[in-house]
Structure 1
Amino acid sequence: MLISFDKKFLFIHIPKNAGTSITNVLTPFAFDPGSKKVNNILNFPFDYTQRKLKFHIKKRILLIKSPVGIKLGISNSGSLKHAKAVDLKKILGKNLFDNLFKFAFVRNPWAKEVSNYEYIKRRKDHPLNPLIHFHSLSLEQFLEWKISKNYKSPQLNFIADYNDNLLVDFIGKVEDIDRDIKKISKQINIDSEKVPKLNSRKQPYNYQEFYNSHSKKLVEILHEKELKLFDYSF
C-alpha cells in the first residue's frame, strides 16, 4: 500500500500486479516536499508533519495486534504492504478512509495464475513452493488444488468487503497501466508528464500457451466474479 495525505490517495497493492513499479512512480508524491520523511512504523511514506495522525494510526496498529484487534477480524496485522482495503478501513478509520481517493490495479486472471505459479516455483522460501516441487504439480494440478481449498476471487478480496462490495474508487488494469496511471494522476492532481511510462517491460512468455481447455476452465471457476466485474477474456 501507499498513502498520501497531501494528495489524498491510497493505493491498494494487490500482489503480482505491477504494484512495486506503481509504488516507485508514486512514492515521490507521497512525501511531504519539505521533510521527505518515511514512517518506519507503518512502512509507507506519508506527510510527516501530521504527527497527530501518525500517533492515531500507530495506536490503531497496536490495537489490532491485541486480543481486541483479533475480535475486529483484521486479517493482515503484520506487514501493510499488501493490506486489504477492508482492513485499511478499520486501521485508518471510516472518515479518513472515505476521504482518500482509493485505487488498485488488477490483472488478467489467466496471466496472473501463470505468473503466480512460476513465481512460487522460483521462490524456495515461498510457503507453497514445497507443495509444487514435492508433488511435481503442473499448473493445471495447482489450479485444481486451489479450487479444492476454496481459493476464489483473490484479487477481489483485496478491494472489496466481505459481501463483495467494492471499497475503492478506481480500478486500473495492468494491461493498460500507462493509460490508467494518467487517469489517476489527473484525479490526484499530479502532472502526468512527470510520471514515467511503465508498460515497456514485456512478459517473457505467452500465458495462453500454458493452458488447455480444462485448465482454462479452472481459472474461470477460480476467478468467476473477477472475470465478469473486470471484463477479462482469455
Structure 2
Amino acid sequence: MMLTLQRFKEMIAAAGEAIRAGEKRFSELDAAAGGDGDHGTAIVTAFQAMAKAGGADFKGYLKALSEALQNEACGSTSTLYGSWLQGMSDTAPEGAAELDAAELAKVFNGGLEELGFVTRARVGDKTLMDALIPATEALLAAQSEGVGTMLERAAAAAEQGAEATCAMRAKFGRAKNLGDRSIGPRDAGAASMACIFAAFAAAVKASC
C-alpha cells in the first residue's frame, strides 16, 4: 500500500479533530504536572494554523505545514512541531505525491532527527519525546509490514510511551521545578503526540 498525499492530508485533518476533542484534557494534564496549563490551547492553535497549508507533493506540503507553525505564536509547540515537520520535509523525496513504507519511515525518522537538534529531551524526560521516539522506532521496525501496520504499531508505541510518563519526574519546562511532585500525571506533550499517532492510524485504517 502506498500512502498518497491526499490520504496524508486526511491524516493531518483527523489529528486536528482529535486534538480539538482533547483540548481540555491536555491543558488539565499540563497544569497538573506544574506547567502553564495552556498546552491544549497551544496544540489546537497549531493544528488550526496547519489546516491552512497546502502543497502538491509531500516535500512542499510538509514544508508548508512547518512554515504555518513557525508563523503562529503558540509557544514551544510551534518550535518543536515546526522543526519536526521541517525535518520530514527535508527527507521527503523530491516531487513525490505518494510514499511507500520505506519512504514513509525515512520521512518520520528525518523529522525525529531534526527535532533532536532542537531539544535535548529524550526518553525518560517526561516530554513529547517519550511518545515520539518509540513511535518512530516502531515505524522503522514495521516498515516491511506495510503502511497501515506501521502506523498502528507507532500509535501503540506512542500510547505506551505517554503512559510511562506518569512515573517520571519532569526535567524540562516549568514542571521540572516541582521535582518529585511532577510524578503522577501523564505528560501533556506526550499525551497529545500519542493522540496524533492514534488519529493517523485510524485515518489510514478507515481508508482500507
| TM-score normalised by L of structure 2 | 0.28
| TM-score normalised by L of structure 1 | 0.26
Could you say which structure has the higher strand fraction?
1
Greater CA radius of gyration, 1 or 2?
1
Could you say which structure has the higher helix fraction?
2
